[in-house]
């Protein structure tokens, strides 16, 4: 019995040794930072002086401050606004293009490649190019508006608080629709063609086919795309920094830029980590809400 056990133990140890590198890497790069953020969120630390937990511990004070931080919650609303535009405008565009590319049209492979170009471009490059497009002095957008005789529309898009955030949301949607397009197209291609043919034989028109055949079968894909859109849009920040620099007052602040400002601008690492934890909780709540919603739609 003992012999069997020791043999088994050896075998298990050998197995474990194979898994160990992966476990170590996972622990260092996932588990350690995860716990470190929680630990730092309970401290008042500048990110430079040697970190000693007992010396820097402030309890839940950072969380209390985050809850009372008006600018933080405004930045959360800005991220929600960008997300709402992405969920509607971006995904509607992605679906329309995916439906078009799912038809027997000429050069559809060419279009697939073209539509997938924006997502693979660097966010910094995209941000700088759009900054130039929106520019009030040299901007391409104003130039075209003037050519089209719409002089009164031309203005400084990024320095106007009524348009700055929408400008960012538009660029984010432009940059992100390619992902939705690819996933939705893949989803559309899994729908058996016979269903469309049967619907046609039954006398359904294109709109009815879309509503009664395509949409119900695409619900799991819509859910996947919307979860990815929400998580991606809520965390947008590189694009904002490259378009807006340090922003227009607080009108273009989103949670991640606030976290960066706390961390690098005012060296409040503990506060920044508390913001990170709160933001993580918000994202988890959103994801759970989405999951519940998707379950409801599936049952329907």
Quote the CA–CA distance of 255 and 139 in Å, as a whole number: 28
Cβ-proximal residues to 277 (8 Å cutoff; 6+ apart), any chain: 37, 38, 41, 63
Per CB under 8 A, residues contacting another protein are: 1, 4-5, 8, 12, 16, 23, 27, 31-32, 35-36, 39, 44, 46-54, 135-137, 156, 158-161, 164, 244-250, 261, 264-268
Q: Which is nearer to another protein, 15 or 88 (CB)?
A: 15
Shortest gap between Cβ of 98 and another protein (angstroms)? 35
Task: Give backbone dihedrals phi and psi of 270, rounded to 5 degrees, phi first.
Answer: -65, -45
Shortest gap between Cβ of 20 and another protein (angstroms)? 10
Shortest gap between Cβ of 283 and another protein (angstroms)? 23
Q: Which is nearer to another protein, 65 or 102 (CB)?
A: 65
Q: Which is nearer to another protein, 166 or 267 (CB)?
A: 267
Q: Which is nearer to another protein, 8 or 110 (CB)?
A: 8
**Contact yes or no for 276/41 (Cβ under 8 A):** yes
DSSP single-letter state for residue 152:
G
Shortest gap between Cβ of 233 and another protein (angstroms)? 21
Shortest gap between Cβ of 278 and another protein (angstroms)? 17
**Contact yes or no for 281/229 (Cβ under 8 A):** no
Residue among 32, 53, 31 at smallest CA distance from 44:
53
Quote the CA–CA distance of 280 and 287 in Å, as a whole number: 10
Q: Which is nearer to another protein, 29 or 297 (CB)?
A: 29
Tokens encoding 262: 């706390």
Q: Which is nearer to another protein, 74 or 102 (CB)?
A: 74
Shortest gap between Cβ of 160 and another protein (angstroms)? 7
Tokens encoding 184: 């939705």
Quote the CA–CA distance of 52 and 132 in Å, as a whole number: 46
**Contact yes or no for 252/169 (Cβ under 8 A):** no
């Amino acid at each position: 019995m003992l012999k069997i056990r020791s043999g088994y133990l050896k075998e298990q140890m050998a197995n474990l040794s194979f898994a160990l590198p992966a476990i170590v890497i996972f622990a260092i790069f996932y588990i350690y930072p995860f716990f470190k953020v929680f630990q730092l969120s309970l401290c008042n630390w500048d990110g430079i002086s040697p970190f000693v937990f007992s010396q820097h511990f402030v309890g839940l004070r950072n969380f209390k401050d985050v809850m009372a931080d008006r600018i933080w919650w405004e930045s959360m609303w800005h991220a929600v606004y960008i997300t709402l535009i992405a969920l509607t405008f971006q995904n509607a565009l992605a679906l329309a293009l995916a439906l078009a590319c799912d038809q027997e049209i000429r050069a559809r492979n060419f279009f697939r490649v073209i539509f997938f170009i924006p997502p693979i471009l660097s966010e910094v490059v995209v941000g700088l190019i759009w900054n130039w497009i929106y520019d009030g002095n040299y901007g391409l957008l104003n130039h075209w508006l003037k050519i089209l005789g719409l002089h009164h529309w031309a203005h400084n898009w990024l320095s106007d608080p009524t348009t700055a955030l929408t400008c960012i949301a538009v660029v984010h949607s432009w940059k992100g629709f390619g992902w939705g397009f690819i996933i939705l197209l893949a989803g559309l291609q899994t729908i058996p063609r016979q269903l469309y043919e049967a619907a046609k034989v039954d006398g359904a028109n294109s709109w009815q086919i879309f509503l009664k055949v395509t949409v119900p079968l695409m619900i799991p894909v819509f859910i996947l795309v919307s979860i990815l859109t929400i998580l991606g849009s809520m965390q947008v920040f590189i694009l904002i920094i490259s378009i807006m620099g340090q922003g227009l007052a607080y009108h273009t602040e989103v949670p991640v830029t606030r976290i960066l400002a706390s961390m690098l601008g005012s060296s409040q690492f503990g506060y920044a980590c508390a913001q990170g934890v709160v933001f993580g909780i918000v994202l988890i709540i959103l994801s759970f809400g989405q999951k519940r919603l998707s379950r409801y739609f599936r049952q329907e």
